[in-house]
Amino acid sequence: MNTIATIRHSSAKLSGQSARPSDRSGFVSRLVRVLRSLAKWIDHLLERRRSRLVLLEMTDDQLKDIGVSRCDAHREGIRPFWD
């Protein structure tokens, strides 16, 4: 194991680069993936909240068209966005 590590370090020294930038690029790409995933999740939660607020604004005729009672729409509309 030490031999491989030595060869890696010696070849990195010869090329003038260290092994660190590749480690950083892996970390950065993982961080970017996590942040994108988090942004998608937050966007999903906000979209759910917006759709629930729209339910609260619908008229009785509109709710009847989609088969939802006023009571059901109100119950769904007041739910928290994370639920």
Q: What are the residue boundaries of the structural domains of the chain, listed by start?
A: 2-77
Residue 9 predicted with pLDDT over 70: no
Task: Outline where the chain has alpha helix (H).
Answer: 2-15, 20-57, 60-66, 70-77
**In this predicted model, what pLDDT tens digit does every residue of 22-43 receive, in sequence order?**
677 899 999 999 999 999 999 9
Residue type, 13: K
* Predicted local confidence at residue 52, as pLDDT: 93
Residue 72 predicted with pLDDT over 80: yes
- What one-character DSSP code corresponds to residue 81? T
Q: What pTM was computed for the model?
A: 0.60
Give the pLDDT mean for 38-55.
95
